Structure 1
Amino acid sequence: MPKFAFLVHPRADVSQDLARVWSPLAAVPSRALEWGMRHLPVPPLALGTVTRPDEPDVAGWIVVVPVGARQMLTEDRRWVLGRIEKTVDFAQNLGAEVVGLGALTAPVTGGGRLLRGRPGMTVTNGNAFTAQLTARAVRRLVAGMDRPHVAVLGATGSVGSCVVRMLAGDPDLDLGALTLVARRRHRLAELAAGARSARPDVVVHEACEIEAVRDADLVVVLTSSTDALLRAEHLKPGAVVLDDTQPRNTDPALVTQRPDVTVVDGGLADVSGLDVRADIGLPPGYAYACLCETMLMAFDGCTTPAVGDATLEHARRMQRAADRFGHLGFGLAAPLSFGRPSPELDLAGLT
């Protein structure tokens, strides 16, 4: 069975994330660590391993790219790509044949398209299975709502566009309105036109401003930023938010400012049948969908790269693989809110 490696990086709180590798780093200011990663030859790091109960050897590794989230989006692109390329080389030297791009390593590499090819190496950005789980989570969250208004932030991105096509292509999903929000007007117009054609019974709006989500019953966040883009003033009373982003693009202050709003962490799968020996910032038995896609491609022997925009075809293949390896998990996980189980989610009937 091919082995895999999954790339992660420090997110908004660099100190706390790097402390998962070496605990004393929690005492070092994040800015100092960012300076060190920028100016010193900090190597890629192995955070931990993943094993299967039915296989004696390590199935894969979680590997840290020594670049912070803010640096991913603001530093010189060639430097960032160089650090990611070195980490992919490190993963290949460990023995990985499938490499998955976690968090911002996917968008800054053009969904993996900007990485150089390596013989015997298959790259995935994990976006197809993320889209698959996101669409399933949307169906769970709108169950019981009366023709809900769903808004998708980051609708033209690799995950977002696939999610929109899945939602628009589901005749059993009883939507009243669908609002697509993105910055790229041309792609947005094309995506909206496709959604209108697929679902003439649904009112489809398109917008470039985040304020367009104010009337939505459910807001799906699929943006790529280091900032909290979605804030209290953007949401209607009683709104539900499904946040698929890493680093998180939903303001944590919503917990206290808007107790009427339900925030659900998206893109999470159950992997209770696997032994993930790495602190990836989630409770035991949980994993990000992009990590799961990396695992599934290795377990399934998939050698076709999954880079660029997520496709419906690859999303369906990953779902078939998830069904085949269902004894290990890969189903939609019990919902979390800001990384923790929440009594409010139980009351909302989401478990």
Structure 2
Amino acid sequence: MVFLSALLLLVAFLVGSIPLGHALLKRAGVDVRVNSAYNLGVENVLRRVGPGLALASAALDFAKGFLAVLMASSLGRPEVTVLAALAAYLGHLNPPASLYRQTPPRGRGNLVLVGSLSALSVTGAVPFWAVLVPVLVYAGVSGYWGFVSAATLAGLLAFTLAMLIVPVGPAAKLAALGLLVTATWRFKENMGRILDGTEPRLGDEVPLAGKRSDEVVAAFMIHPMTLENFWSAQRFAWLRPLVERGVVSEASVRHMAERIRPMKVGELRGIRTVDGKAIRCYLLSSPLLPDVFRDQPELATMRAIEGARLAQELGAEVFGLGAFWSVVGNKGVDVQAAVPDITITNGGAYTSGTIKAAIPGILKHFQDTGRHLKSATAGVVGANGVVAFGIARTIAPQVGRIIMIGRDLERLERSAATLRRANLGTEVVTTTSYELLRDADLIFSATSDPNPVIFPQHVKPGAWIFDEGRPADVDQSVEGVPGVRVIPGGVVLPPGGMTSNIDLQFGEGAVPACLAETLIIAATGEHQRKSLGAQTLTENINFFVEQAEKLGFRVVD
């Protein structure tokens, strides 16, 4: 009897794991992303493929749960029958990869649950009321609140409580609890999104790439710059008082953050270009802190690849890498190779374009104050990088002296030699020390350092500083130096009335240029303009500057 029970439970698991609904949709030529676990289930499929295929797919999932429980009921043991419901649900959510060439994406599995519960009632394993109560609770919560994931958990909680008074053995009661625990684990991300305010409600349309001619979908990867930013996500806010009281160590939080896969934490809405095209942008995050990018580049690259796959499942056409994500995986090259079916960009072209557009105005305003550029000294911080060297190349013909600061003196000298040959009247100095920066009247900074690098001792009174670093290269204390002006770089206002549930820390309605590049690629459909690797083509820089103006993007100066 024990062997037969185990065999029936195994069969229930395998029946639950058969991707019947997925196979039907795939055979009909439907994009499998409509079944993504990150989008809504049956109601979303209904909108995408019509009632016929949607109902057929739903019926097949219902039949899996019903059949699995029905077969197990042949033993006449309620405990085994309820355990079969758990086995079928586990099989649906976690099909063995060895049985399929590629594990299909899974939805919520609610139809499998309904089929299983129906069979429990039909076979008499549990009383009818014990099934009716969770169904009514599910209907009530989903109708009132609109979150299907929360309604499912509420219904299963009601079922678990009902099973406590049903006259069955402890194994059946534990099986009911197992259904609740399994669903809770399955819906952990959905519950996090409910806390963050990004989970769609019942009836909300979840856009997919190419489904609407007047709306495009993009995604952008962010991360916390400090532990303080980590608390800004509501799903993690409960940890803050525990850390402050010493109940949980900061090291434990960092350790946890390194193990969290990418998740949807925000959404930009209300962006509409001059020609009337709407852009929806999902904000994704794996909460790695800046030092992890430096110390564990392989982990960061893996998370970026996972983020690209999530973006694709959410229906995005373009996936942008922000902040330190932009430098992982050979600046996006490895990420694109791993996920070829979505466009990846590191945002370098438009970032360079915003600088190119801003520098003439900065230099003009500097001269308008009565100072002469040809007698001025300019400091360029981070000059080993592509962006900062581009700045040095732009300003070299206009100033009397340039101080190039970077970490690799040999590379700096090679770059400086190029500038000296092209600008015979400009003195070019290279150094790895910030002490010489105090000679500069103008400072341009664009590093990838996670911490500020420019402090009051490096700045003379009256200096102008253009800070392109993200996070900022200039420490806040620098603003206390008399006459110093700090100008943030690479900040863009998208067209329309952008709203967001998360503070990007670039000012109200503003985004970084790398995010703006992601939006522009999505709006124009010019996917070949993506920025990958260390090289940035001049023609692409010019393209983004021109298209940004046409679409209504405006650089903040």
> TM-score, normalised on structure 2?
0.54
Structure 2: distance between partners of 1:260 and 1:321: 36
Higher helix share: 2
What is the CA distance between 1:212 and its match in structure 2? Answer: 2.7
Q: Which residue of 2 aligns with 1:19?
A: 232
- Give CA deviations for 1:69-103 in whole Å, capped at 9, x if unaligned: 222222x2222211121111111111122111111
The structure 2 residue matched to 1:236, chosen from 438, 443, 460, is 460
1:246-265 equivalences under 5 Å are: 246-256=470-480, 258-265=481-488
Query: Are the structure 2 counterparts of residues 14 and 45 from structure 1 closer, same or farther at C-alpha, using a change threshold of 3 Å?
Result: farther
Cα distance, 1:263–1:32 mapped onto 2, change above 3 Å? farther
What is the CA distance between 1:274 and its match in structure 2? 4.6
Q: Cα RMSD over matched residues?
A: 2.4
Given that 1:128 and 1:159 are in contact with CA atoms closer than 8 Å, whether structure 2 keeps it comes out as no
Provide the C-alpha distance between the structure 2 equivalents of 1:27 and 1:243, rounded to a whole number of angstroms: 34
Q: Gaps (5+ residues) in structure 2?
A: 1-214, 244-249
1:119-268 equivalences under 5 Å are 119-143=340-364, 144=367, 145-147=371-373, 148-168=376-396, 174-256=398-480, 258-268=481-491
> Secondary structure, in 3 states, of the residue corresponding to 2:424?
coil
Higher RCO structure (Cα 8 Å, ≥6 apart): 1
The CA distance in 1 between the partners of 2:352 and 2:283, in whole Å, is: 22
Alignment identity in percent? 25
Equivalent residue, structure 1, for 2:526: 302
1:91-106 paired onto structure 2 within 5 Å: 91-106=311-326
1:80-99 matched pairs, under 5 angstroms:
80-99=300-319
Deviation at residue 272 of structure 1 after TM alignment:
4.9
1:58 Cα deviation from its structure 2 partner: 4.8
The answer to whether structure 1 residue 8 and structure 2 residue 222 are counterparts is yes
Structure 2 distance, partners of 1:16, 1:106, is 19
Instruction: Give the Å deviation of 1:260.
Output: 3.2
Alignment partners' CA distance in 2, 1:321 and 1:65 = 31
2:287 match: 66
**Matched AA of 1:166:** T
Superposition misfits of 4+ residues, deviation over 6 angstroms: none
Note if contact 2:318-2:343 (Cα within 8 Å) is conserved in structure 1.
yes
Give secondary structure in 2 for the equivalent of 1:52. strand
> Once the 2 structures are TM-superposed, how far is the Cα of residue 42 of structure 1 from its aligned partner?
4.5
Q: Which amino acid aligns with 2:326?
A: A
Could you list the per-position Cα deviations for residues 186-231 of structure 1 after superposition, in whole angstroms to 9, with x for gaps in the alignment? 4322322222233333222222222232211111111111222111
Following the alignment from structure 1 to structure 2, what is the Cα–Cα distance between the partners of residues 194 and 284?
A: 40
Shift of 1:154: 0.8
Unaligned 5+ residue runs, structure 1? Answer: 335-351
Q: SS at 2:387's partner residue?
A: helix
* Conserved? CA contact 2:320–2:518, under 8 Å: yes
- Paired with 2:217 and 2:255, the residues of 1 have a C-alpha distance of 33
Contact persistence 2:262–2:284 (CA under 8 A)? no
Give the 3-state SS of the residue equivalent to 1:71 in structure 2. helix
Please tell me the residue identity of whatever aligns with 2:532: V
Alpha-carbon contact 1:196-1:203 (below 8 Å) kept:
yes
Determine the structure 1 residue equivalent to 2:333: 113
Contact 1:44/1:86 (8 A) holds in 2: no
Shift of 1:67: 0.9
- Which of the numbers 494, 507, 510 marks the counterpart of 1:283? 507
Equivalences, count:
323
| Mapped contact 1:2–1:301 kept (Cα < 8 A) | no
The 8 Å contact of residues 444 and 466 in structure 2, kept in 1 or not, is answered as yes
CA separation in 2, counterparts of 1:122 and 1:220? 31
Identify, as 1 or 2, the structure richer in strand: 1
Q: Which moved more, 1:136-145 or 1:260-269?
A: 136-145
CA contact (8 A) 1:16 1:26 kept: no
Kept after mapping to 2: 8 A contact 1:179/1:213: yes
The yes-or-no answer on 1:317 pairing with 2:543 is yes
Change (3 A) 1:8 1:163: same
Q: Distance in 2 between matches of 1:164 and 1:307?
A: 22
Matches of 2:324 and 2:287, distance apart in 1: 12
Q: 2:268 — aligned with what?
A: 49
Q: Secondary structure at the match of 2:486?
A: strand
Change beyond 3 A, Cα 1:42–1:108: closer
Q: Relative to structure 2, which stretch is displaced further, 277-286 or 312-321?
A: 277-286
Residue 70 of structure 1: SS of its match in structure 2? Answer: helix
* Equivalent residue number for residue 347 of structure 1: none
Q: 1:315 Cα deviation (Å)?
A: 0.9
Q: Deviations over 1:124-154 (max 9, x none)?
A: 1112211222233333223223113221111
Which piece of structure 1 moves more, 231-240 or 175-184? 175-184
1:157 and 1:226, CA in 2 relative to 1: closer, same or farther beyond 3 A? same
Say whether the 8 Å CA contact 2:329–2:335 is kept in structure 1.
yes
Give CA deviations for 1:264-316 in whole Å, capped at 9, x if unaligned. 22111222535242421132232111111111122222222311223322211
Say which SS state the counterpart of residue 187 (structure 1) adopts: helix
- CA 1:69–1:298: 2 relative to 1, 3 Å: same
